[in-house]
Structure 1
Amino acid sequence: MNIREIQLHESPPMDLLLMADPSQKLVAAYLEGGDCYVLEEKDQIIGVYVLIPTRTGTVELINIAVAETAQGKGIGKLLVMDALKRARRDGFKIIEIGTGNSSIGQLALYQKCGFRITAIDRDFFIRHYDTPIYENGIWCRDMIRLSQEL
């Protein structure tokens, strides 16, 4: 397995990115301002994440996605740990991440990787998405914000 940055001449894996964020408009916006990394196995992209600087010394980890066939194998944790390593290497002091109130597995993963809950952006998904999102039988309304000092 190899994690690498997407090159300018390559198209990002939109199918995977849209698994984690159903808004093509929002995905395109943060791809424009961030760096996209992919995990390849046997010349096939099976994971992706985006790092985007938000303020001085702070970077946000956005849109971690793993192909359905590769889920449950520790790939998500591998991607998060790679993002932490790259953010440290690039001199960032804080890394942030956000996920939906209904994203139970992601909330557990991020906390296992050292993130702590810092805020709740109430009704984030109602304000930014045209149609309701349901996950794990829960209406996804609020953005749970987490961060970690590097």
Structure 2
Amino acid sequence: MLTFREITEDKAYWHPYLYLADDAHEDVRQYAEQGFLFVFEDSGEPVGVMLLIPQNAAVLEIKNIGLLDKARGKGFGRQMIEVAIETAKDRGYRTLEVGTANSSIDNLIFYQKVGFRMAAVKQNYFVKYDPPVYENGIYGKDMIVFRMELVSSEKE
């Protein structure tokens, strides 16, 4: 059973889990102290982390989801997204965002399956990465930004 807890101290301990989702270790070290860090455990054993960072008073970004390979395919990613949604709502955010590389085919599928909509493309976002991002035989240059509105608009 997947359980979670928020980490407020010694976030650096969890950096190796954040590196699972972001190869830019220096970037991770810079953003890891921001926002809300959650650790997810399966039967008491850590299997992943999720970092949520406020972008403004209305938007909360899923900055990083790091999940161990052995924990994939068990529905944990979907449960992590549910925690992100509830956290955002509980803390008064109206929109949840997440970005992933254009080459991350599994992520592109996953985020749409859990209810996100494509919202923007940040061209050349990943070109600074060394080594370059290559997945599925594709050079990951661009970030695809997904958005989920957490409050209904009057037009829906």
TM-score, L = length of structure 1 = 0.93
What residue in structure 2 maps to residue 87 of structure 1? 88
Query: Is residue 68 of structure 1 aligned with residue 69 of structure 2?
Result: yes
Q: Name the CA distance, whole Å, in 2 between partners of 1:76 and 1:136.
A: 20
Q: CA deviation at 1:34?
A: 1.4
Long gaps (5+) in structure 2: 151-156
What residue in structure 2 maps to residue 8 of structure 1? 9
Query: Is residue 49 of structure 1 aligned with residue 50 of structure 2?
Result: yes
Superposed CA RMSD: 1.3
| Equivalent position SS for 1:36 | strand
Q: CA deviation at 1:10?
A: 5.5
Q: Name the CA distance, whole Å, in 2 between partners of 1:10 and 1:59.
A: 19
Query: Is the helix fraction higher in 1 or 2?
Result: 1
| Equivalent position SS for 1:102 | coil
Aligned residues: 149
Change (3 A) 1:29 1:9: closer
Identity of aligned residues (%): 38
What residue in structure 2 maps to residue 143 of structure 1? 143
Q: Give yes or no for contact 2:4–2:41 (8 Å, CA) kept in 1.
A: yes
Q: Give yes or no for contact 1:96–1:148 (8 Å, CA) kept in 2.
A: yes
Change (3 A) 1:9 1:141: closer
Q: CA deviation at 1:7?
A: 3.2
| Equivalent position SS for 2:103 | coil
| Equivalent position SS for 1:92 | coil
Q: Name the CA distance, whole Å, in 1 between partners of 2:56 and 2:122.
A: 18
Change (3 A) 1:98 1:10: closer
Q: Give yes or no for contact 1:119–1:146 (8 Å, CA) kept in 2.
A: yes
Q: Name the CA distance, whole Å, in 2 between partners of 1:104 and 1:57.
A: 28
Change (3 A) 1:120 1:9: closer
Q: Give yes or no for contact 2:11–2:37 (8 Å, CA) kept in 1.
A: no
Q: Name the CA distance, whole Å, in 1 between partners of 2:94 and 2:21.
A: 25
Q: Name the CA distance, whole Å, in 2 between partners of 1:36 and 1:134.
A: 27
Change (3 A) 1:62 1:54: same
Q: CA deviation at 1:53?
A: 0.4
TM-score, L = length of structure 2 = 0.89
What residue in structure 1 maps to residue 21 of structure 2? 20
Q: Name the CA distance, whole Å, in 2 between partners of 1:138 and 1:11.
A: 31
Q: Give yes or no for contact 1:65–1:76 (8 Å, CA) kept in 2.
A: no
Amino acid in the other structure paired with 1:36: L
